[in-house]
Amino acid sequence: MDSRERFLAALSGSPVDRPPVWLMRQAGRYLPDYRAVRKTAGFWELCHSPELTTRVALEPLARFKLDAAIVFSDILVVPEALGLGVTFGAGEGPQLARTLSTSADLAGWKVEGAAARMGFVANAVKHLKAALANRYGLFGFAGAPFTLFAYCTEGGGSDDFLKARVMLHQQPALAEKALATLADVTAEYLDAQCEAGADTVQLFDTWGGLLDREDYVRFCLPAIRRITEPLRAKGRKVMLFVRGGQHLLPVLGEANVDGFSLDWRADWREARARYPRHVLQGNLDPARLLAGAEPTVAATRSLLSVMRETDDAKRCIVNLGHGIHKDTNPDTVAALCEEVARNG
């Protein structure tokens, strides 16, 4: 089986010779070529260049035995296209010039033409797809509505995103309208990525796990379904990652997705028992990779054995439970991928 066959088989639940592997944030600062590119180009400049996005997305595939690529972009493309002025300061993370706190702020969002302003991402998918020559799987992606809403209200990173969580209950109608707006723009944006050649798309709900189950059901799931329903009606495949979402597992079936990307704290067997027909992906702890090759290989081996035991390794994708940390040694990533290739 070549990588793309293996990846598509895992997505559709067909038998595989071994589970495919890819890693969240596999293109990024832990790789020397990425750092070299960033010395010559700003972050947005990189995202807008099909040549550069393809170059950085291919680097991990050339180095490691990975089965899928992910288009190089960022979840904050959506607030940028809505006119919120997103910048990535050196070492400080993202910042938004205009934040959401009133209905006048929401009325100022430039919704019209937003999907077209993100056309450079579909273009990057098309360019990467051609370079992959159907040998690897290809992911498109976007932020889930609540995670985008969290950045829009906070104006940058935060540990607890209190502004977003307060708004849900102080101005619920405004919050629901903002979430629906983010969802509708995202649905169009992801459809364009699929049209451009993505085999599947992943919704990153990095901050969804901050909410309790009741709030997730009330605010997040309806917004996620505004994205997944039109996409899946067209046969598109959608994966959902909710960081810190173990407590949400019982309700995530209502997200209407093909599969879940499990955080490192989620229990694989429990997730599988609950969702026998879904694709499951994950869930190695990115901190394990910082501990070195040996502990990483041991964790990979035990994940593979859980996959074999619970599913005959079907509908399983090896991944991390969150993005690769920037201080990760590329040799450790190589060891992880070798282990999957050899032992899967």
Q: Which of 33, 38, 98, 225 is catalytic?
A: 38
Q: What's the closest the beta carbon of residue 205 comes to ligand CP3, in angstroms? A: 9
CB 57 within 8 A of CB 27: yes
User: Does 94 participate in binding ligand CP3 (rule CB under 6 A)?
Assistant: yes
Tokens of 17: 């010779």
**274 is annotated as an active-site residue:** no
User: Does 145 participate in binding ligand CP3 (rule CB under 6 A)?
Assistant: no
Q: Using CA atoms, how far apart are residues 75 and 14, in angstroms rounded to an integer?
A: 31
Toward ligand CP3, which CB reaches closer, 8 or 77?
A: 77
The 8 Å CB, 24+ separation contacts for 222-226 are 222/176, 222/179, 222/180, 223/144, 223/145, 223/146, 223/179, 223/180, 223/182, 223/183, 224/144, 224/145, 224/183, 224/255, 224/256, 224/257, 225/254, 225/255, 225/256, 226/145, 226/180, 226/183, 226/184, 226/187
Length of the chain: 344
Which helix (H) or strand (E) segment is 169 a member of? Answer: helix 162-170
- Chosen residue from 129, 323, 336, 340 binding ligand CP3 by CB under 6 A: 323
User: Does 43 participate in binding ligand CP3 (rule CB under 6 A)?
Assistant: yes
Q: Which amino acid type is present at position 270?
A: E
Q: What's the closest the beta carbon of residue 310 comes to ligand CP3, in angstroms? A: 26
Q: Which of 151, 189, 191, 205 is catalytic?
A: 151
Which helix (H) or strand (E) segment is 201 a member of? Answer: strand 200-205
Q: Candidates 87-95, 111-119, 263-271, 312-320 — which segment interacts with ligand CP3 by CB under 6 A? A: 87-95
Q: What's the closest the beta carbon of residue 38 comes to ligand CP3, in angstroms? A: 5
**74 is annotated as an active-site residue:** yes
Q: What's the closest the beta carbon of residue 10 comes to ligand CP3, in angstroms? A: 18
- Chosen residue from 54, 181, 186, 206 binding ligand CP3 by CB under 6 A: 206
Q: What's the closest the beta carbon of residue 2 comes to ligand CP3, in angstroms? A: 21
- Chosen residue from 21, 75, 86, 152 binding ligand CP3 by CB under 6 A: 75
Tokens of 26: 């596999």
**25 is annotated as an active-site residue:** yes
Q: List binders of ligand CP3 among 146-165 (CB under 6 A).
A: 157
Q: Using CA atoms, how far apart are residues 341 and 95, in angstroms rounded to an integer?
A: 40
Q: Which of 4, 18, 74, 288 is catalytic?
A: 74
User: Does 29 participate in binding ligand CP3 (rule CB under 6 A)?
Assistant: yes
Q: Using CA atoms, how far apart are residues 230 and 199, in angstroms rounded to an integer?
A: 16
Q: Candidates 24-32, 111-119, 287-295, 311-319 — which segment interacts with ligand CP3 by CB under 6 A? A: 24-32
Give the residue carrying structure tokens 């895992």.
10
Q: Going by C-beta distance under 8 Å and a sequence separation of 6 or more, which residues neighbour residue 159?
A: none
**135 is annotated as an active-site residue:** no
How many beta carbons lie within 10 A of that of residue 295, not counting itself?
A: 15
Q: Is 91 helix (H, G, I), strand (E, B) or coil?
A: coil
- Chosen residue from 5, 13, 33, 38 binding ligand CP3 by CB under 6 A: 38
Q: Going by C-beta distance under 8 Å and a sequence separation of 6 or more, which residues neighbour residue 94?
A: 74, 76, 86, 87, 88, 151, 156, 157
**272 is annotated as an active-site residue:** no
Toward ligand CP3, which CB reaches closer, 86 or 313?
A: 86
Q: Candidates 66-74, 107-115, 163-171, 216-224 — which segment interacts with ligand CP3 by CB under 6 A? A: 66-74
Catalytically active residues, by annotation: 25, 29, 38, 74, 151
Q: Which residues lie near ligand CP3 (CB under 6 A)?
A: 24-29, 38, 43, 70, 72, 74-76, 88, 93-94, 141, 157, 204, 206, 323
